[in-house]
Amino acid sequence: MTTRLPTYFVSHGGGPWPWMPDMRDMLASLDTALADMPRQIGRTPKAVLMITAHWEERAFTLGSNPAPGMVYDYGGFPAHTYSVVYPAPGAPELALRVQGLLQEAGLPVALDPQRGYDHGTFVPLAVMYPDAKVPVLQMSLRAGLDPAEHIALGRALAPLRDEDVLIVGSGLSYHNLRNFGSGGRAPSKAFDVWLQEAMVASPSVRAEALVNWESAPAARICHPREEHLLPLMVAVGAAYDDAAECVYHDETVFGGVTASSFRFGEIATAA
C-alpha cells in the first residue's frame, strides 16, 4: 500500500471554459479527465501545489496569502466570467515548507502575499475540486524558462508527495494562440507523438528529451514561447523515476489541435 501521491501535468484548456457551456461541451473529455483526478489519487490531499504557466517571476514565487483573490488573466470573454470566484483557502504554512525545500536545493525563492489565483490555477481546480475546500498553494515559473532548472525545481519538491500534497503543473501541451484550428492540426499531432514517446522513456532519457525539447518536431510552432510547457518539467522532476501515463488526449481541441495531460507515479491508496 502506498501513500505517496502521483504528480500531474494538465493541459488546462482555454480561458474560463468551465463557465461557458459551448466551450465546456467542446472540452468534454478534458472536463472528464480533470474531474477523475480525485478518484485516481484515492483521497482528498492536504493541499494542492499548483505550478501555473500564467505567472513568471525572477525567483520561483509562492502565493502566501491565506485567502487569495482572483486574477482574471484572459480577455474577450463574456462579462460573467470576470466575476467567477474560486474561494479555496491558501496554504501559507505550506508556502514556508516549500520555501525551505527550495532554499536547501539552492534555488531562488520568494513569497508573494498579494497575488490571487490566475486561470491556470482556478480553471482546472474548479473542475477537480468544485467545492473549493482543498487548500491551494500557487507557484510561479521562473523568468528565463530554463527547462533544466524547472526539472530541478520538481526534484526539490518531491518530498511533498509523501506529505499528502498533490503537485500539479498547469499548462498546455500545445500553445500557439495564432495557430489554432486546422493550421494547428499537423504540428500539434507531430509534437504530441514526440511527447508521448518521451514521457514513456527511461528517467534520464525523458529528462534529456525535455531539456532539449526544442529539437522535437514542430516544437517552436507548437510553443512559440515555452511557458505552457514548463509546468510539465516540474511534474516530471517531482516524480523523476516514476512511470508516466497519458490521462487525457484529444485531437479535436479548438478545431483540430491535439492536447494531452499526464500522470507520473502510481495511483495512491490509503494506508
What is the C-alpha to C-alpha distance for residues 117 and 192, in angstroms, rounded to an integer? 29
**Apex 200 CA angle, 198 and 201, nearest 5:** 65
Q: Express each pLDDT in 258-270 by its tens digit.
A: 999 999 999 865 4
Sheet containing 60-63: give its strands across. 109-112, 60-63, 136-142, 47-57, 165-171, 7-11, 257-264, 244-253
Inform me whether the pLDDT recorded for 271 exceeds 60: no
Which residue is listed with cell 486574477? Answer: 71
Average pLDDT over residues 12-18: 97
Rounded to two decimals, the pTM is 0.97
Q: Express each pLDDT in 129-168 by its tens digit.
A: 999 999 999 999 999 999 999 999 999 999 999 999 999 9
Which residue is listed with cell 530541478? Answer: 152
Average pLDDT along the chain: 96
pLDDT at 270: 45
Cα dist. 80→15, 77, 86, 126, 179 in Å?
Answer: 13, 8, 14, 16, 27
Q: Express each pLDDT in 226-247 by its tens digit.
A: 999 999 999 999 999 999 999 9
Kindly state the percentage of the chain with pLDDT values over 90. Answer: 96
C-alpha cell at 256: 483540430
Strands 60-63 and 109-112: parallel
Average pLDDT over residues 33-55: 97
Average pLDDT over residues 163-191: 96
